[in-house]
Amino acid sequence: SVQALAAGLSGGRPVFTAWCGLPEPSIAGYLAREAGIDAVVLDMQHGVIDFLNAARAIPLVAAAGKPAIPRIPVVEFATASRLLDAGAAGIIAPMINTVEDARRFASFVKFPPQGERSWGPHPALTLTGLQPAEYFRTANGFLRSFAMVETREALDRIDAILAVDGIDAVFIGPSDLSIGLSRGAALDPNGAEVNAAIDHALARAKAAGKLAGIYAPNGERAADFAKRGYHLVAVGSDLAFLRAGAAAMMKAATA
Ligand code: 3PY
Ligand code: MG
């Protein structure tokens, strides 16, 4: 499951990932068992998930045979290494706006000589079943780093961000991107300007031989992104799943 993300992303069909923000680890573990869900994001930026919640959720997601992909808080790159030690298969880093941000993020995801990740992946060794020397030799190849492009600055520099060694993918945040592209005038993640940027970002990632992921707030938008050709499509969130399920069931109950 930890190693499966890389293979899934190059499998010719999109990887659909649930998006968890609620702190109870079993929610991620249960969602990992739902049909159609290939992976689970643990959102430590805007979700209520702290390091311990994430470290406990990762083996529950792995027990379902699925990869866990935490999103770290802004600039907390050291947390990326700790989450990989805990058995995360990839990391999403928000607000990567400069090449320097991208380099710093990649350095915490990749071991030397590619990066500067410190050694100590004890839970990851248990989850993968790899011997230390083999994990060290292969981890840079199977762990995936997603640099979030969600500002005007980042979009302007997307080629340079994609060119950073150790950055495997860009990940589009349509909400922040809409705020940035409108210079703070509007939150409009479904607008024409954002949609054009979404196609542009995917094209640039493909031109660079790298991957692209994106966040979708509902199933319809997720299907749209999958059709456009995104490699990873996050469908969220756990709270949205809960509310949609409650609304549908209560509508039926009170009909
Ligand atoms: C955004 O849309 O800005 C995101 O970060 C996705 O949650
Ligand atoms: Mg965002």
Counting from 1 in the atom list of ligand 1, the atom nearest the Cα of 148 is 5
Query: pLDDT confidence of 131, banded at 50, 70, 90?
Result: very high
Topology, domain 4-253:
TIM Barrel (3.20.20)
Q: Which residues does 168 contact at the CB level (< 8 Å), separation at least 6? A: 90, 144, 145, 146, 210, 211
What pLDDT is recorded for position 190?
A: 97
Query: Is 46 noted as a catalytic residue in this protein?
Result: yes
To test the pocket of ligand 1, the residue of 43, 96, 215 to mutate (highest count of ligand atoms within 8 Å of its CB) is: 215
| Cβ contact 40:20 at 8 Å | yes
Cα distance between residue 190 and residue 167, in whole Å: 27
Confidence band for 169, pLDDT divided at 50, 70 and 90 = very high
pLDDT in tens, 47-57: 999 999 999 99
pLDDT of residue 187: 98
pLDDT of residue 160: 98
Does the predicted interface ipTM exceed a cut of 0.90? yes
In this prediction, residue 114 carries a pLDDT of 97
For the residues 192-212, what does the mean pLDDT come to? 98
Tokens of 217: 């707030």
pLDDT digits (tens, 9 = 90+) for 99-125: 999 999 999 999 999 999 999 999 999
The mean pLDDT of the chain is: 98
Q: What percent of the chain has pLDDT over 90?
A: 100
Indicate whether residue 173 lines ligand 1 (CB < 6 A): yes
Ligand 2 center from residue 128 Cα (angstroms)? 31
